Structure 1
Amino acid sequence: MVDSVSAWLKVSELSKDTWRIEDAGMVSQYLLAGKEKALLIDAGWGIGDLHARVASLTSLPLTVINTHGHPDHTCGNYRFENVRIHQADVPLLKKNFSPKVRHDIMQRFKDQPLPEGFSEDAWVHAPLKRFAPFSGELSFDLGGRVVDVIETPGHTPGSVSLYDRKEKWLFTADNIMEGNTLLNLEGSMPLSIFMNSVNKLAAMENKVEALYPAHGRVALKPSTLSDMQKGVKKVLDGKLIGKPEKTSRGSGAVIRFDSCGIVYNDERRY
């Protein structure tokens, strides 16, 4: 067993009222506080006590928003009462609360020290608490700090990104990162759909000061947006072709651009 606060959930302060919380060294959640409310971007694995960690940082009323429905972003939803997720990813969320699925997920941690007091049985059988799906435009007014939700399907049908107007930061989740964006997964959207999402984000580049993805190095330069835009367009136009590879998340065509990359299925470009 390990101490969940110091080892499992690593906290770093990005600004006076913004924290990055690294979950098991695999995925990052972000806590944003305003004058009246707080917003937690993603709920992580839910193995470390993220609720307690958040409570140690702010006592403000909290909303959790899932950037998409994959387990490393939603399995911890059971620790929170006020959760939002895009309607299109609700099936993924529900799947992650099947005891069989959660039992299988736990196998990836079998050789890793777990947080002190953690009950695997309780985690596997954790209930799917009430959540509020959304679609379309959505913003969170935290009090002197507004965060806009941007629909960015591609990685999953209901993937979103978030823009913090105050800090001019764009939280890109699994949509754009220094590593390869996975578009080859079961349920991922065609590359043309992802292109539409990238166009939407790239149009914001001039008002973005930094990107904060859910995986890998942070912060990234805003120019990563246009790098992705130019690269994906070349793939769709047939000017670039990825190299077929078997990855840990399935087979696909892998291609790197200047500061980012994608794994995609060539037969599902459109």
Structure 2
Amino acid sequence: MKNTLLFTLLLTVFTTVVEASEQKNTTNVASENLLSSLTQKQWIHGSQDCNTITDPAIEVFQYNDSSYILRQSKCLTFEAPFIYVLVGDEKILVIDTGATDDVEELSVYKTVLALQKKHNEKEQGVEREILVIHTHSHSDHYGGDAQFIDQEKVTLVPASADGINDFFAFEDWPNKPTTLELGGRSITIIPTPGHQEEAVSIYDEQTKWLLTGDTFYPGYVYIKDWHDYKASISRLTAFTNENTVSAILGSHIEMKSSAGEYYEIGTTYQPQEASLVLTTADLVALNTAMSELDEPDKVALEGLIVEPLGFLPKLIGSIVGLFF
């Protein structure tokens, strides 16, 4: 009798372990398939003749049930920035609003509103508010802000230093991150100045995405403050050592699929774009290269190029910032 009970107990434990292992493997395969779909994704990338293009003004890519990536058309703005929309149980987080305030032709707000309606209707009785934040205060990332102002159930955090600090209340900028709760979805806001003074990166606990704006993306990254940027890349690298990161996603694609080659600024047709996805290995490579430099200098890697701004561009940028 005892042997029968022991056998039954062992069989139950074994079955439970096998089922848990199979479920974990299924989850891992699903996650790998999702990431593969993003890595291999070919985005709208402009046209040789923008007068005849049929691409949408905004492409909407659904990554999973509650995560979206938007890209603006290169024929409407050569910047073609990426915008991220993360849906929680209580809030919908919009990261950046794009490069233009054209409500009719390129309405980010209307696109987000449609997503809000979709999720609210799916879960009847849920009324999610929209929260808009920015990776930094360059105009191609806050151009659509006017569309969100005075809209119902919308909180818009200004891209300025005062706006960011008032909302997030950083205790030790830029050394200490802060968190944001969307309802069942935790977001980490990481200060990453250097490309621009108020730059932040965003980590999504659900997708394991690290969203880096113009701090780190497959393109030609210009750096306003080299030493701040070097420290930010070091902190981001340390963060990825302590947290699982599935993909590092920035706000533009400027690199070509051929390693080390890039499209010139102002290009409106990019048929051979690199993937939007960068990896922790890319970040480590940049951090290693920068740690070996005592003075600001250009760093050219296969997946991105980083270069310090000269005196005149920095001066112009500072003057423009005074009027933001």
Deviation per residue, 1:130-172 (Å, 9 max, x gap): x965452432211111111110000110000000012111001
Higher helix share: 2
How far apart, in 2, do the equivalents of 1:36 and 1:265 lie?
A: 41
How far apart, in 2, do the equivalents of 1:73 and 1:12 lie?
A: 19
Q: How many residues align?
A: 208
Provide the residue aligned with 1:84 in structure 2: 157
Deviation per residue, 1:20-40 (Å, 9 max, x gap): 110123100000001121100
> Would the aligned equivalents of 1:86 and 1:135 in 2 still touch at CA under 8 Å?
no
Provide the residue aligned with 1:54 in structure 2: 112
Structure 1 residues 218 and 210 mapped into 2: Cα distance closer, same or farther (>3 Å)? same
- Give the 5 Å matches for 1:196-235: 196-206=231-241, 207-216=244-253, 217-234=275-292
Q: Which runs of 4+ in 1 moved over 4 A?
A: 131-135, 265-268
> Would the aligned equivalents of 1:89 and 1:156 in 2 still touch at CA under 8 Å?
no
Matched residue SS, 2:196: coil
Structure 1 residues 132 and 80 mapped into 2: Cα distance closer, same or farther (>3 Å)? farther
- Give the 5 Å matches for 1:182-197: 182-183=222-223, 188-189=224-225, 191-197=226-232
Provide the residue aligned with 1:128 in structure 2: none
- Would you say 1:261 and 2:299 are equivalent positions? no
How far apart, in 2, do the equivalents of 1:51 and 1:209 lie?
A: 28
- Unaligned 5+ segments in structure 2 are 1-49, 75-79, 118-127, 150-154, 171-176, 254-274, 315-324
How far is 1:182 from its partner?
A: 1.1
Matched residue SS, 1:43: coil
Provide the residue aligned with 2:263 in structure 1: none
- Would you say 1:237 and 2:237 are equivalent positions? no
Higher strand share: 1
Deviation per residue, 1:199-233 (Å, 9 max, x gap): 11101224211111101132221212111211222
Provide the residue aligned with 1:7 in structure 2: 56
Q: Over alpha carbons, which structure has the higher Rg? A: 2
Q: 1:21 aligns with which of 44, 64, 70?
A: 70
Q: 2:217 aligns with which of 163, 177, 185?
A: 177
Deviation per residue, 1:22-66 (Å, 9 max, x gap): 012310000000112110000112321111111111232100001
Identical aligned pairs, as a percentage? Answer: 26
Provide the residue aligned with 2:90 in structure 1: 36
TM-score (norm 1): 0.69
Structure 1 residues 89 and 214 mapped into 2: Cα distance closer, same or farther (>3 Å)? farther
TM-score (norm 2): 0.58
